Structure 1
Amino acid sequence: METRIRYMARSPILQTEKAFSTDFPVDHVDDARSTNLVADDRPVTVHAIQDPNQWELDTHGFCILRAEVHLDLDRIDTHRREVENAFWYDIEAILHEKFPRYSRIEAYDLTVRRRDLDFPQRVRQYDPSHEQPAEIAHSDTSQRGGFLVLQHCFPGQDDYWKHKDFDIINVWRPLRRPTDDWPLALCDYTTIDQENDLLLNDAIRRDTISENSLMHFNAAHKWYYLKDQGINDLLVFRNSDSGGKRARGFHAAVWNPKATGPPRESVEVRLVAFY
């Protein structure tokens, strides 16, 4: 697939300011900025995955699992908590079976994305019912961001996790088929220059501040996607780990110039997995 990836430019301001971004308007505040980042869109070939079994979480930052997971689409908007808990339970069980090294797995977030017809020309402000595809190349949390997530999502449990080794994991799948509109692309971790390609970013949200990792362009990067991904094809990738040493799954939603299906609908679960 010939498309583009939204990287972040190596702007001079990043030599004196830490990168930051918000997901809410700040126009009402004098001299306020919603971000100090500058987009750097690059033409990229995103390769279709030929053999799902060749990708390993600890080498490439992501893997592909095939499993039947129940998600009640008729009730996800009206009975969100009940549907969310059932889906979390299924995903946690699948990960425990695939990765027995984890002693405890806890889901903490479920995000539904439904692409608006005028995305990406127009990106609406935050809607609590659903989000838009995320076209910036990123991982959801940095090493520090993983600890901030635990503080926010599991308050009062610091004594349990502060000395433990853990991963922050994402499991992504489409809600419906066909799924060729704005698919999720993943970067092979072995092609990333850890010293020069990555950028720490303060992610400022309405109710919390976290830290994620963004990417600068490097022609060595190799990007892949799961063509014709079904609802039982689970993309599993690591966002961060407590030690900052393991492979991570940098990812981005990408425009498919040959898409024939309806606007993309997807669901993702974020989890902490303790060793």
Structure 2
Amino acid sequence: MRNLNRRFMFILTVAMLCVFMAACGSDSTSDVEAKTFDAEEIEEIFVTTDGQNIEMRPSDNEKVKVSEKAGKEVPITLEGNVLTVDLEGSSSLINFKTDTLYVEVPRKIFKEINLNTTSGKISGKEITAEELIVTADSGQIDINGFEGKKIAGEIVAGDMNLKKIEGNFNLTNDTGDIDISYKGALEEDSTITTHSGKVVMKFESKPNSLKVEASTGSGKIKNSLFSSEELKVEGGKSILNGILGSGGATLSVQSASGTIYID
């Protein structure tokens, strides 16, 4: 009888665990609770999460929509023209699947969009803002399409991928690759700084005017914009100082150890 009871308790425990895991991993649209706001009332958006991913995507209407799984209270405040979403410290003790906070925005030039996560992925598509700020301790940052004046990006450990962006930028990471696809002409000074990781800076069309100051401690610099005479090795460092046209804005790329590609 004792062995039978133990077997029954074991089966019951396994069954409950399976139900719990299925509930945690559900992707049903019925499990999503959304809150909407009129975009014309909002000029700045601040989003902070702990272990959750952040995904910003275009809206099909004139509303700003914020959603996550139902049953989880999403702290959202709208004060003046500033929308704040703060999920910091709200991660579950047991989380079999990383949650994602979805933020849908219409095509409007916001004054500032600020996305910050402790350990999650930040992704965005077709973002328009005067200033975009993306920060993470660990994870990954993926932005596909940005129209605006400035991007500030920082990640301690992880890759940063920025595609089809414009405006000036200041990007830093400690460990991980930085990959940029830039459209248009660089009009203001911009910087890329990494300790250990590959840097790829690709212009969709060759700039008419540009000044580049690049260096890497234990890596190579490969480029298609400047002649080999402008590339030197000094004190064990690879250094590139190049000027196109009248010079214009300066692109500074610094890496302690990693290959730099400029095309």
Please tell me the TM-score bracket, short chain as reference.
under 0.3
Rg bigger for which structure? 2
Structure ranking higher on relative contact order (CA contacts 8 Å, 6+ apart)? 1
TM-score (norm 2): 0.20
TM-score (norm 1): 0.19
